[in-house]
């Protein structure tokens, strides 16, 4: 598996005192490298779906691009089709939402929050949640959508 010695065949004669040295044969063995890369690929394939927020919501499609990221884990507030409000994956009653947001805002350095609202939710409900986010101390609200939706000119954007 490693290096092997390789020498010239001696036909039984020695010429003088010079001996030929056997030289090392250096070949790269890529099998362990491939094994490690396949293990890493499997780990990332298993771990990638776990990094998504686990609340199923049918997001509306738009032609808008993604917002730039931040160092802190983003706070996500979700409004489901049934009208339930969730902070990350924890359900919260609407009357307790502002108090919970104020407590979270006191612990965070960023005032950015992402609002995920189901496409079937009425505009008024989404605006009430946005007002609660503002009252809770989050002025930088990003609305989360799926890409590939229609643009204002009637064309459909292509997923990137």
pTM here is 0.54
Sequence spans of domains, the chain: 75-144
Q: How do residues 85-103 score in pLDDT, each as one tens digit?
A: 998 888 999 898 899 988 8
Which CATH code is given to the segment(s) 75-144?
3.30.420.270
**What pLDDT shows up at residue 73?**
76
Residue 5: enclosing H or E segment and its boundaries?
Answer: strand 4-6
- Spans in the chain with pLDDT lower than 50: 160
**What pLDDT shows up at residue 138?**
86
Enumerate long-range contacts of 89-98, CB under 8 Å, 24 or more apart: 89/53, 89/54, 89/55, 94/132, 97/129, 97/132, 97/136, 98/132, 98/135, 98/136
Q: Which two tokens stand for residue 78?
A: 């979700």
């Amino acid at each position: 598996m490693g290096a092997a010695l390789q020498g010239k065949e001696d036909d039984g004669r020695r010429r003088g005192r010079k001996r030929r040295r056997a030289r090392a044969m250096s070949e790269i063995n890529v099998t362990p490298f491939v094994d490690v890369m396949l293990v890493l690929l499997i780990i990332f394939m298993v771990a990638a779906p776990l990094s998504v927020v686990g609340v199923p919501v049918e997001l509306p499609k738009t032609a808008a691009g993604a917002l730039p990221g931040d160092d802190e884990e983003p706070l996500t507030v979700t409004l489901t089709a049934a009208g339930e409000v969730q902070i990350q994956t924890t359900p919260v009653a609407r009357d307790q939402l502002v108090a919970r947001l104020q407590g979270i805002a006191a612990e965070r350095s960023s005032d950015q929050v992402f609002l995920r609202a189901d496409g079937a939710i009425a505009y008024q409900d989404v605006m009430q949640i946005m007002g609660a986010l503002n009252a809770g101390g989050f002025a930088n609200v990003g609305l989360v959508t799926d890409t590939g939706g229609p643009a204002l000119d009637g064309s459909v954007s292509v997923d990137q």
